[in-house]
Amino acid sequence: MLADNAEIPKSYLGRMQGLLGRAHLAQGEGMLLTSCRWIHTFFMKFAIDVLFLNRDLVVIAAASNLRPYRFSRICWRACMVLELPAGIVTRTSTQPGDQLEIRSVADDKAISC
C-alpha cells in the first residue's frame, strides 16, 4: 500500500495549495492531482516522492526524493500525479509499469483525468 489516506483536491484553489503550508507528509498520506503532468515543490518544506499515472492508473514514471524548490519532469503520457512521503517509492519498489488501484471510502466514483 502506497497510501491509505490520499487527498484529492476538489477545487482549483485546493489544487494550487496542494501540500504548501504543511510541515510534513506522514506515512500513509498522499495527494492525487488529476489532470496533471508535472508538479513543482516551490515553497514546500520537505521532499516528496512522485508517481506519474495514466488514465488506467499505470505508473508511467516515478521521481524519488524530489526536494523543495524543484520542478518535476513533464510526463506527457501521464494524466495524474500521486504525491507521497519521500522514500515510499523505494520502500515499495514501485516502478513504471506497475498497476495501481485506488479505493475511495467516501464514494465509489471513478477517478478520471
d(CA 83, CA 98): 16
pLDDT confidence band for 100 (50 / 70 / 90): very high
Q: Which amino acid is at 90?
A: T
Give the tens place of pLDDT for each residue, 3-35.
Answer: 998 999 988 888 888 888 888 899 999 999 999
Which CATH number describes the domain made up of 5-92? 2.60.120.1140
Domain locations in the chain?
5-92
